[in-house]
Structure 1
């Protein structure tokens, strides 16, 4: 082996320790791109990140038209001054003036949607159309602080209806829940980990459980010096269609496990937890009423008949949801945290030792006269601004307005036309990819979501070519060699499955961010590379495996 070759191998070995999202930049560079490469570089096929190449247009049109109407309302206040001054919208007559605006602009993209949205809010949700329009106009003008800071009043009700429809559906649900509007699902994770630590619900040395595979930061955050948590992995198995066995779920019965964090549908397998497993977890919670659950359900809207764990165990579950993927809105940074108004977090806070309660009393006494009664979700809000800046907490109001318009767009789409179009789009891409790779098996799993697909090389290779071939590949390749060869030779970028906690060598393919013809090219590149490994194996072993065999 030459010195340069050995150095390259050593470098790839070190890179295996990187987060998959950091390794992605190295793979992009190997493919001849830059770390901030955009899809405009058509010669490189980057299926490594989940940013979709589709987006919801109708509620965006509505946003811009609402902005124009709100500007008219603002300019009415200081019409006598030519220097470009505006004021707050005027509540009086606002609904009538909106009707005139909608009538005068009938047929303009977004206007009919806004008119329908106002009607839906008034007639279906039973809210004041005038108050709704005022909240939306003031919000889109960003002329005031977010009040209430956790979420604007009517916005919380509307987003709550959206979450009920998409996360709970027809499942029985008793009681109400509170919502904190946050800067995407990543902010939700940050705030939740931080507030649980600050309030002694998790402390250094405590044990939590993770549903593996999982979005990598859930693996990385507990290791940080900020938390230093012990982690028990509940491993979903590719041979079990990426479901958790009862043996794995039974790990939650251990009283040392304080919390269970999961992404549902999973990332990267993109499979929703079966109804049987959800019910099994809910039964465990009945035996362990102190167990805290966190379910990150960003991909739930891509699933058929999705029901969140929040629906089955609402008092123990923190629900995290992001609008980023479903509406193609990663740049908007729109997310929510929801907790039932009767929840285990508040109960555990009330049961803390007196000295801890005293410490927390001092922490929150500057924002409330009764800090001991401050709910967990309101502590999240305060901690998100280091408590002292609680008076300026809250997601920016234009972001909340877009969140509301996304929610209303979905609520009014009773036949699920938008949702079904997205499902057809990504599933057609998967079929194109698998066809070109040569993967053929029954795809009748009702729990598959297909936002991503994970190519488990060990599972597929063993099924097609036998265990000896798989063992040879593992022995004779570095952990990330296949990914770097795809990047260098075919300019195809995938993410390593092991970075998400998978047990076998694998690659995550996002089915959301490229066109169908691109997945055909990726499939062919993977098939070509696999054929080269079969040729090398045949040459070294004297075997004669058929590289054209269907996986």
Structure 2
């Protein structure tokens, strides 16, 4: 591909570039296709899935009890006596690991968390059958309590105390939907307006860069840059940008994508201190990779008044196809305070917008406005994540909350760290980030091509390489010559001459192949430079 076409390709989102690279790689018949571009894990959590299917079988029996005279039809499950019938079902299917999980879950929730057995089981039966609209539409009652417990465990696992009070949760169709819903409602409620300035913690997941630029939002952006020399933490010189009152919001992914490093405790404390001083600063933290890091604490736990928490179950449980996520907002928050303090003119605007769903729209909480806005308000009566999805989300959460959850976590972390180690073995001794780094999540790794080129062949070589080729040229060569697809780092606001490798969907051997191919191409560039 000539350089002009490469420059055009570099203008695309990295996820669109990936599709082009995949087409090249699939045509590379001499090599096995290795897609290290997308972060879809190549494992699944089996036990909560086994429980889901067994629960479905029980729910069908419950349905058939209430409508027996029409073949192929079932009725709605009955709450009365459901706990007794469930116990009999478990006895009959005692050998099933899914049933054993359900029994343990019921005991855990009723004995340790004081859930009412019949209320819980009735929600599970109705939910997994999907025989009713989600009620409440924001999240089923028992499901919200269980997922809240999960988030408090996994999002505040370090040395910080849990915040006082609790969070309201909105179950959504994965982190992607969460992002859209939050952006949309911030705009609709005039918390972010066209021309406002927001800060982006860079490098970052590409949509956080691209969405603010859309005509729908037209926001100005400044970057708050992580520093590679500081193990990808954010220096105070960058964080002070958040003290500027013209900066209305700060969006970050933590641990980051593509660098896969969590913010250190010092950085968290500094941001929380800024938020305490700036009660009007909106913070959105996307913490999908938090469960892969040691002792992870979300910014939502340190600055709950200011923060919107986005979490997805997709990566940790191998469930990208399930589309499971939550938005969390603390019950005492600046968003509701903002709504209460707007001008009478804006209140009239909001009354018109939300008056059809509430007799007291002035008191409608921000998170409930997100629910309504997710269905253009007029369709609020059909809002909410499908109930079978909510039940599977609940069972995923229970896997972590019950005995054995820590073992699952250690194994999931071991998978990606082992692959990272395989990658390092074939990087000629160059350490990217220590595999023992306390802040590492190791779900992705960013490869600094400039650093490798300069360390291997010197500054003059890299200056020539940068002048002669586009950064994407290496990615195209990897796809065409080796069947390897990786992502351009620049698309995540990482350095131009960098690339992102997903460790989640590669074997150890494939990690070795990828690094060998990268270094072979750098050496082939050098041969051209050396003979010029």
Q: TM-score, normalised by structure 2?
A: 0.97
Q: Quick one: distance in 1 between partners of 2:453 and 2:252?
A: 28
Report the Cα offset of residue 153 of structure 1.
0.6
Report the Cα offset of residue 12 of structure 1.
1.4
Q: Quick one: distance in 2 between partners of 1:350 and 1:445?
A: 44
Residue in structure 2 matching 1:420, options 393, 410, 426: 410
Q: Quick one: distance in 2 between partners of 1:486 and 1:528?
A: 10
Structure 2 unmatched ranges of 5 or more: none
Other structure's SS at 2:155 match: helix
Other structure's SS at 2:321 match: helix
Runs of 4+ deviating beyond 4 Å: none
Residue in structure 2 matching 1:436, options 426, 431, 436: 426
> Which residue does the alignment assign to 1:317?
307
Report the Cα offset of residue 30 of structure 1.
1.3
Q: Quick one: distance in 2 between partners of 1:478 and 1:459?
A: 16
Per-residue deviation, residues 444-472 of structure 1 (Å, max 9, x unmatched): 42101100000011233333433222222
Is the alpha carbon distance of 1:507 and 1:447 closer, same or farther for their aligned partners in structure 2, counting shifts above 3 Å?
same
Q: Quick one: distance in 1 between partners of 2:101 and 2:253?
A: 33
> Which residue does the alignment assign to 1:208?
198
* 1:78 paired to 2:75: no
Q: Quick one: distance in 2 between partners of 1:463 and 1:493?
A: 24
Report the Cα offset of residue 414 of structure 1.
5.2
Residue in structure 2 matching 1:375, options 356, 365, 381: 365
Q: For the Cα contact (< 8 Å) 2:27–2:480, is it kept in 1?
A: no
> Which residue does the alignment assign to 1:9?
3
Residue in structure 2 matching 1:152, options 118, 140, 164: 140
Q: Relative to structure 2, which stretch is displaced further, 252-261 or 471-480? A: 471-480
RMSD, matched Cα: 1.4
Q: For the Cα contact (< 8 Å) 1:457–1:504, is it kept in 2?
A: no
Per-residue deviation, residues 128-186 of structure 1 (Å, max 9, x unmatched): 11111100000000001100000001110000000000002363211111000000000
Q: For the Cα contact (< 8 Å) 2:252–2:285, is it kept in 1?
A: yes
Q: Relative to structure 2, which stretch is displaced further, 473-482 or 322-331? A: 473-482
Structure 1 unmatched ranges of 5 or more: 35-40, 541-551
Q: For the Cα contact (< 8 Å) 1:319–1:338, is it kept in 2?
A: yes
> Which residue does the alignment assign to 2:264?
274
Residue in structure 2 matching 1:62, options 41, 51, 58: 51
Q: For the Cα contact (< 8 Å) 1:13–1:479, is it kept in 2?
A: no
Q: TM-score, normalised by structure 1?
A: 0.94
Residue in structure 1 matching 2:96, options 108, 117, 137: 108
* 1:20 paired to 2:8: no
Other structure's SS at 1:529 match: helix
Q: For the Cα contact (< 8 Å) 1:252–1:284, is it kept in 2?
A: yes
Per-residue deviation, residues 490-543 of structure 1 (Å, max 9, x unmatched): 110000000000134111000001211111211211121121122222223xxx
* 1:342 paired to 2:332: yes
Q: Quick one: distance in 1 between partners of 2:241 and 2:27?
A: 44
* 1:127 paired to 2:115: yes
Q: Quick one: distance in 2 between partners of 1:85 and 1:147?
A: 23
Per-residue deviation, residues 266-317 of structure 1 (Å, max 9, x unmatched): 0000000000000010111122111010000000010100000011101110
Residue in structure 2 matching 1:246, options 217, 223, 236: 236
Report the Cα offset of residue 33 of structure 1.
5.2
Q: Quick one: distance in 1 between partners of 2:416 and 2:231?
A: 19
Q: Quick one: distance in 2 between partners of 1:114 and 1:286?
A: 43
Q: Quick one: distance in 2 between partners of 1:532 and 1:193?
A: 45
Is the alpha carbon distance of 1:33 and 1:61 closer, same or farther for their aligned partners in structure 2, counting shifts above 3 Å?
farther
- Name the count of aligned residue pairs: 527
Q: Quick one: distance in 2 between partners of 1:115 and 1:372?
A: 44
> Which residue does the alignment assign to 2:504?
512
> Which residue does the alignment assign to 1:486?
478
